[in-house]
Amino acid sequence: MSGFKRYFSVDEALFEFKKRIQESKDFNEINTLESLNRITYENIYSRLDLPPENRSVVDGFAVRSIDVSGASPSNPIQLEIIDRISAGEKFYSTLKKDQAVEIYTGGIMPKGADCVLMAEDCVKEKEKLIVMKQCFKYQNVSRKGEDFSINDIVIKKGTLIEPFHIGALVSLGIKNIKVYRRAKVSIISTGSELKDFNDYKEGIIDSTRPMLISMVKRANLDALDLGIVKDDKDEIIKKLKEALNNSDMVVISGGTSLGNYDLVPESIEEIAKPGIVIHGIAMRPARTTGIAFNNKIPILMVSGFPVAAYISFNLFLREFIKLFYGTNLLPLPKIQGRLTKRFPNPPGIRSFVRVKVSYDNGEYIVDPLRLTGSGILSTLTRANGIMVINENSEGYDENSIVEVELTQPIEEVLNNAKNLS
Amino acid sequence: MSGFKRYFSVDEALFEFKKRIQESKDFNEINTLESLNRITYENIYSRLDLPPENRSVVDGFAVRSIDVSGASPSNPIQLEIIDRISAGEKFYSTLKKDQAVEIYTGGIMPKGADCVLMAEDCVKEKEKLIVMKQCFKYQNVSRKGEDFSINDIVIKKGTLIEPFHIGALVSLGIKNIKVYRRAKVSIISTGSELKDFNDYKEGIIDSTRPMLISMVKRANLDALDLGIVKDDKDEIIKKLKEALNNSDMVVISGGTSLGNYDLVPESIEEIAKPGIVIHGIAMRPARTTGIAFNNKIPILMVSGFPVAAYISFNLFLREFIKLFYGTNLLPLPKIQGRLTKRFPNPPGIRSFVRVKVSYDNGEYIVDPLRLTGSGILSTLTRANGIMVINENSEGYDENSIVEVELTQPIEEVLNNAKNLS
């Protein structure tokens, strides 16, 4: 029962974690309409030109730009209207000198015409069109292949599918795409004292596991709930084997420091190769975090305390997602604000400080929450941001301008918001 | 077939939209474990103290702070170890002068003890404990009710449930909570020329509707797909009635400008009260956007062009969510970067410019994509951000520092990223 011999820096820990994660080779071929929030497994190419032919992008008149050159209110030019084309319709003859065709948004450009006059720049008198404005070549025309040409990359490998990607795939008639199989993350809690939420009568409820499972779901990965295991090495080993056989990452909470009952590290060492690569990280909270691997499958040992578990899982989960899928992630929303009180940082430690951000008088105010044990979940629920203080910093003075990653919205007075834009 | 008489400013449009949206009165009572991404319908209060009693937050020895006052390596103090307490266990007698109880993380503090010495600050010799460091009152102790006290608000009304909220609810034994019924948004496309993606052989595929449906899903709302309706007033009215009977918001795309076939506005005017409140907004793209209401249900008329539809639906959907649920939203991730080329803005227009953001030499580079028709979906798929230029701006010069809302990640070179923290 003693402290760790050495704490690894957060950067060392990330380095050791990241260098062993391998990009997945598993994919699913799914319907495009079901692909939201999935990640492309390969480049997706266009098999056609979009639009497939030149089209008008306004309601107006398709003309030859040469015929209306110099047209203005003081120099109106008269053309003859010879037909009308609706969206998706086609005109089969060729526009000749001084002719115009009435055309609607999405209408296919008639042969001969090279631009579209907007309706408001002309006067239509029965079959005559009086043109008050000139029109340059391709004005108001969406050109064949302008959106996507045959063999263009529509979506790159490793892209998170957003609604506009679905729009693009649909417009190109691409019915199925290959996406990465969703990563499976097993969650195990250890501790003979823990009771499961569903059949709890008295004692300590395991709140860390439901939180970690939700974090996995929130990240659009599949969570495998492996329940609570007692402080018994054989049982821990059995559960770890089950997890390693069924998932791409394992997270085990509790029993990971160096107390008498902390059987997780020795269980891992017995069955995993290369086993534990990092144990003890110079961060606050979550200094008992450990990283192990069985081949390329990471086993993250996190604290049984929910706040510590949250902070360390969050840190490593993001890196796992990037490397497993070969993808990039949107940055977290951040703000810069003024610190309400001095916040010292112990040398060599990276601190993840829960803060409350508010908006007052044109600036953000950052108020660090009172820190006691890392079991204090209310510091996360009451906070709406995390201020990260690096290990080379001695902390910040009162009124310093600091950067905060937002974890929840900043409260607005909704009544006021309703009257503002 | 002509332009709008007047374009409303984006702020006017938002004001007219927001002032009519009413907070929902419908809720579901659901299992806490199923509540991720839902929004609380009422304040949730704690029914107990958490922790329910004082607990140790470390592995060590529970002692009376008065007994170890002044202890140091040069002034060690000797205590007698009288028992051992594991997590969740309880010690039933009272600690007396110069006594210590070995205690594990999560163990309930014995009566009489008021602090916990960490294991590494003592030497244990059989039943004797040699203390090398003093310990102040409540040090390493998580106090009763410290996380949540009875009647504390655990989660405020109007809060998006995050994984740490689930952790808190579980630890308090709260099995069910009330959350807002998910808002239902109906999506209708209009246009006789449009073909549905699923049974498309040739012609123009309706790509806007699948995109809008995905946007609704992405926002964790329920999407009702009402399909494509032909350019026929009776059919449009029938579909609008169906939508209004079944949803909290209606989005109808296409047929919303002022062309001959634009029957949507007159259909709305025939059945909805107060009907159209805004038609034509001084924004680029999406100037044909219209807002109507039937009582408190908004009907958003968006362009049939996917990019215009995306930009305007995105703008109004966020405001709808805030007011319907009485909630705040996380800000979008933003960056500031250097503009690669001059970008003029027409006076009085708010422009939503699709840009490609990259990272080079310590700064973000913002490259506006070539803008042609608002049908060009590739400007959204190729872009990773939107630069908003306000109506009072004439645009930006080359090398200006501009703000961009990110819609997709900024690409990193992943091989390099793997070797960096």
**Which of A377, A380, A392, A407 to mutate to probe the B interface, most B CBs <10 Å?**
A377
Compute chain A's Rg from CA coordinates.
Answer: 31
Looking at the complex, does the CB of residue B1 fall below 8 Å from at least one CB of chain A?
Answer: yes
pLDDT beyond 80 at A259? no
Are β-strands B60-63 and B122-125 bridged in parallel, bridged antiparallel, or unpaired? unpaired
CA distances, A111 to each of A99, A128, B340, B364 (Å): 12, 20, 37, 44
Cβ atoms of B254 and B239 within 8 Å: the answer is no
* Prediction ipTM score: 0.91
Residues in chain B: 421
Say whether A167 and B310 touch across the interface (CB within 8 A). Answer: yes
Say whether B160 and A408 touch across the interface (CB within 8 A). Answer: yes
Cβ atoms of A269 and A276 within 8 Å: the answer is yes
* Average pLDDT of chain A, as a whole number: 91
Say whether A328 and B171 touch across the interface (CB within 8 A). Answer: no
Say whether A165 and B381 touch across the interface (CB within 8 A). Answer: yes
Looking at the complex, does the CB of residue B22 fall below 8 Å from at least one CB of chain A?
Answer: no
**Token duo for residue A73:** 């209110």
pLDDT beyond 70 at A258? no
**Token duo for residue A289:** 């975090």
Nearest partner of A87 among B255, B236, B413, judged by Cα: B255
pLDDT beyond 90 at A93? no
Task: Report the distance separating Cα B359 and Cα B363, nearest Å.
Answer: 6
Q: How many CB pairs under 8 A join A and B?
A: 296
Say whether B87 and A18 touch across the interface (CB within 8 A). Answer: no
Burial-class residue B37 by CB neighbours within 10 Å (0-12, 13-18, 19+).
Answer: middle
Looking at the complex, does the CB of residue A340 fall below 8 Å from at least one CB of chain B?
Answer: no
Of B1, B193, B414, the CB nearest to A326: B414
Cβ atoms of B325 and B180 within 8 Å: the answer is yes
The pLDDT of A391-399, averaged and rounded, is 96
Say whether B147 and A375 touch across the interface (CB within 8 A). Answer: yes
**Which of A38, A109, A132, A170 to mutate to probe the B interface, most B CBs <10 Å?**
A170
Least confident of A20-24, A262-266, A310-314: A262-266
Nearest partner of B262 among B282, B247, B276, judged by Cα: B276
Say whether A408 and B159 touch across the interface (CB within 8 A). Answer: yes
Angle at B175 between CA B169 and CA B176, to 5 degrees: 100
Q: What are phi and psi of A238, to 5 degrees?
A: -60, -45
Q: How far is A317 from chain B (nearest CA, A)?
A: 14
Task: Report the distance separating Cα B69 and Cα B136, nearest Å.
Answer: 8
User: CB within 8 A of A62, min separation 6: which ones?
Assistant: A56, A85, A95, A100, A101, A103, A107, A109, A110, A113, A115, A116
First to last CA, chain B: 59
**Which of A214, A310, A391 to mutate to probe the B interface, most B CBs <10 Å?**
A214
**Which of A166, A175, A199 to mutate to probe the B interface, most B CBs <10 Å?**
A166
Q: How far is A206 from chain B (nearest CA, A)?
A: 7
User: CB within 8 A of A295, min separation 6: which ones?
Assistant: A273
Cβ atoms of B183 and B220 within 8 Å: the answer is no
Q: How far is B245 from chain A (nearest CA, A)?
A: 26
Task: Report the distance separating Cα A328 and Cα B178, nearest Å.
Answer: 36
What are the pLDDT tens digits along chain B (421 aa)? 346 778 999 999 999 999 999 999 999 999 999 999 999 999 999 999 998 889 888 889 999 999 999 999 999 999 999 988 876 677 778 999 999 999 988 788 999 999 999 988 899 998 999 999 999 999 999 899 988 999 999 999 999 999 999 999 999 999 999 999 999 999 999 988 899 998 877 778 999 999 999 999 999 999 999 999 998 999 999 999 999 999 999 999 987 655 556 799 999 999 999 999 999 999 999 999 999 999 999 999 999 989 999 999 999 999 999 999 999 999 999 999 999 999 999 999 999 999 999 998 889 999 999 765 555 788 899 999 999 999 999 999 999 999 999 999 998 644 444 433 3
Say whether B87 and A331 touch across the interface (CB within 8 A). Answer: no
Say whether B410 and A15 touch across the interface (CB within 8 A). Answer: no
Contacts of A212 in chain B (CB under 8 A): 163
Contacts of A204 in chain B (CB under 8 A): 87-88, 106
Looking at the complex, does the CB of residue A171 fall below 8 Å from at least one CB of chain B?
Answer: yes
Contacts of B208 in chain A (CB under 8 A): 167
The pLDDT of A375-380, averaged and rounded, is 79
Please name the residues between 301 and 320 in chain B that touch chain A, using a CB distance below 8 Å: 304-307, 310
Q: How far is B7 from chain A (nearest CA, A)?
A: 15
Cβ atoms of A337 and A326 within 8 Å: the answer is no
Q: Is B160 helix (H, G, I), strand (E, B) or coil?
A: strand
Looking at the complex, does the CB of residue A329 fall below 8 Å from at least one CB of chain B?
Answer: yes
Please name the residues between 55 and 74 in chain B that touch chain A, using a CB distance below 8 Å: 57, 59
Cβ atoms of B74 and B205 within 8 Å: the answer is no
Query: Which amino acid is residue A243, in one-letter code?
Result: A
Q: How far is B359 from chain A (nearest CA, A)?
A: 13
pLDDT of A376 reads 73
- Helix, strand, coil proportions of chain A in percent (round to 5)? 20, 35, 45
Tell me the pLDDT tens digit for each residue of A155-200: 999 999 999 999 999 999 999 999 999 999 999 999 888 999 988 7
The DSSP bridge partners found for residue A251 are A187, A300
CA distances, B29 to each of A199, A210, B126, B217, B264 (Å): 20, 19, 55, 21, 38
**Token duo for residue A208:** 């860390």
Task: Report the distance separating Cα A226 and Cα A243, nearest Å.
Answer: 8
Contacts of A217 in chain B (CB under 8 A): 36
- Largest Cα separation within chain A, whole Å, is 96
**CA B360 to centroid of chain Cα atoms:** 30
* Cβ burial A199-213 (10 Å sphere, 16+ → b, else e): eeeeebbbbbbbbbb
pLDDT of B417 reads 43
Say whether A163 and B215 touch across the interface (CB within 8 A). Answer: yes
Query: Which amino acid is residue A195, in one-letter code?
Result: K
